Amino acid sequence: MYELFKNLGTWLTSGAQWSGGDGIAHRLAEHLQYSLLATLIAAAIGLPLGLLIGHTGKGAFVAINLASFGRALPTVGLVVLVFLASGLSMWPVYIALVALAVPAIVTNTYAGMTAVDPDVKDAARGQGMRGHQVLRQVELPLALPLIMTGLRLALIQVVATATIAAYVSFGGLGRYVFDGLAQRDLVQVLGGAVLVAVVAVVLDVALAGLQRFLFRHRTA
Amino acid sequence: MNRRTLLGGLFAAASVPALSACAGGITSLDGEGGASGGGGSSKGGVTIGTANFTENQVLGHLYAAALTGAGVKATVRPNLGTREILIPALKGGDIDLLPEYQGALLHYLAPKATATEEGAMQNALTVALPAGLQVLPYGMAEDSDAFVVTRETARKYGLTSLADLKKQNGRLVVGAAPEVKKRQVGVVGLKEVYGVEFKEFKSLDSSGPLVKGALKKGDVDVANLFTTDTDIQANGWVVLTDPKNLIPGQHVVPLIADRKADATVRRALARLGNVLTTAQLTELNRQVDKDKKDPEDVATAYARRHGLLK
């Protein structure tokens, strides 16, 4: 066991391991690229959807159940399914990651919107605000903390799952996990896993910090 | 699931039940007093273990059918896992017999072994096996690694053997399981023995949906599959020949505990080995994988058809 951790330490810190096409720096950049792009796409889909159903109160039942369904989808299964249809491309990876991220964003956005006090909305309308004004100037600001939480959650899930890119021959930190398993190189597997965990934790802490900074004037 | 995963099982080594104490002790009820030295006896019946993939289970049931046909009581314990579980179970006496593959077993027992030809491997196996275990004569059927191209690719580049790949150095994309990148029977050996250099290596799966899908769609030019994969025939793919014997033979070979290896068992398994061809084994795999038939039924029907079982 001690030997294993010593080797892991060497693996993580050696300069040779960090450089080159199969180096940690490059794999890390790929991993972040997949994760951020997938989360952005998911946000572009999930935020408007969540805001719409939250604002109108229509279609909530369908949307929330669809989101739950999306959460239950096995990601690797989805990757293989899309792969067989699309062939060797990034489509399987992005579709699977986006499908993973959208539910968290939709449900949290919706939850944020429904948590806005109806009296506040009534007051806004009573002052003559139109629907889109209520949405932008009242509901959105009040729902923002929960919306941010949804985005944070989605990003962390995506970072942890982006290892599947390696399953269909692409890069990212999953490369170490899949190659290590196949080559029975436990140090490489652990190295990849540790890096993914560190990236997820660092991003989570950073986003939590950002959230606290942005909403520092709020009590709740 | 396939032969290669039998080598894997990174997390599987720990779970053999500790039933192993009585092997070779004075447990024999017929007064022979232990089994070591000389032939064993199959009188008490033979327990066959199989690994966690279709073909191995088919083979296990074929062994059982052949033994039953010879009057030996045979039990199959299917789907036990990988070599990390099966070999200790065999040594410990939980199972007595195991359908194995020459090259893969040799690589497991002696990772640095260089033999690739069947006879040499059989000898190397005999040397490498731990006391109490032996391999019986290998069968005709073989489940080896193959490098496969589509018929169009073969025609376009004039490919029939692995040596032909060299003419297209830097132009072809190869798809295989991740480990093949670092394996002798893979990118390393192809470069060393045949001077082949690929344009790119795509890490996919071993003879699974990904690598076959990529070959079908033309995303990879060369794919690493197993010779008993039914999709090779179904798609009319071309298996590149191996004139320099880079790829070790993977003939099916019975691995058995000395205590059970008597003349009846030997003869029954040799008879099976002499009739079962690679094409037939492929067809049996297909019946289980694609037609969803029961491995035992498939094996029994085969044994009946070939007079191994009444």
Domain boundaries defined on chain B:
46-143+249-305, 145-239
**DSSP string for residues in B161-193:** BGGGGGGGTTT-EEEE-GGGGT-IIIIIHHHHH
B-proximal residues of A, 104-143, CB under 8 Å: none
pLDDT of residue B131: 92
The model scores a pTM over 0.80: no
ipTM: 0.73
Whether the predicted pLDDT of B111 surpasses 90:
no
**Least confident window among B75-84, B139-148, B169-178:** B75-84
Identical fold for domains B46-143+249-305 and B145-239, yes or no, is yes
pLDDT of residue B108: 86
Domain boundaries defined on chain A:
28-173
Domain boundaries A28-173, corresponding CATH code: 1.10.3720.10
**Interface check B202 vs A, CB under 8 A:** yes
pLDDT of residue B33: 37
- What pLDDT digit, counting tens, does each position of B236-257 carry? 999 999 999 889 889 999 999 9
Counted across chains A and B, CB pairs separated by less than 8 A come out at 49
Q: Are B209 and B180 in contact (CB under 8 A)?
A: no
| List of chain A residues with pLDDT < 70 | 219-220
B58-77: b or e for each residue (b if 16 or more CB lie within 10 Å)?
A: bbbbbbbbbbbbbebebebe
In CATH terms, the superfamily for domain B145-239 is: Osmoprotection protein (prox); domain 2 (3.40.190.120)
Whether the predicted pLDDT of B73 surpasses 80:
yes
Q: Which candidate in A88, A89, A170, A173 is best for mutational testing of the B interface (most B CBs within 10 A)?
A: A88
CATH class in words for B46-143+249-305: alpha beta
Work out the mean pLDDT of chain B and round it to a whole number: 86
Question: Residue B209: its chain A contacts at CB < 8 A?
Answer: 80, 83-84
- What pLDDT digit, counting tens, does each position of B185-209 carry? 899 999 999 999 999 999 998 788 8
pLDDT of residue B293: 94
What tokens does A176 get? 């170490």
Question: Residue A182: its chain B contacts at CB < 8 A?
Answer: 8, 177-179, 203
pLDDT of residue A193: 95
> Nearest chain A Cα to B10, which residue?
A184
Asked if B178's CB is within 8 angstroms of A183's CB, the reply is: yes
pLDDT of residue A219: 61
Question: Residue B204: its chain A contacts at CB < 8 A?
Answer: 168-169
Chain B nearest C-alpha distance from A92 (Å): 12
> Nearest chain B Cα to A189, which residue?
B10
**DSSP string for residues in B197-251:** --SEEEE--SSSHHHHHHHHHTS-SEEEEETT-HHHHHHT-EEPB-TT--SPP-B
pLDDT of residue A220: 53
- Looking from the CA of A175 toward its CB, the CA atoms found within 13 Å total 20
Chain A nearest C-alpha distance from B216 (Å): 9
Of B179, B181, B217, the CB nearest to A87: B217
- What pLDDT digit, counting tens, does each position of B7-64 carry? 444 333 333 333 333 333 333 333 333 344 446 888 889 999 998 888 999 999 999 9
- What pLDDT digit, counting tens, does each position of B82-98 carry? 787 888 899 999 999 99
Which band of pLDDT confidence, cut at 50, 70 and 90, is reported for residue B132?
very high
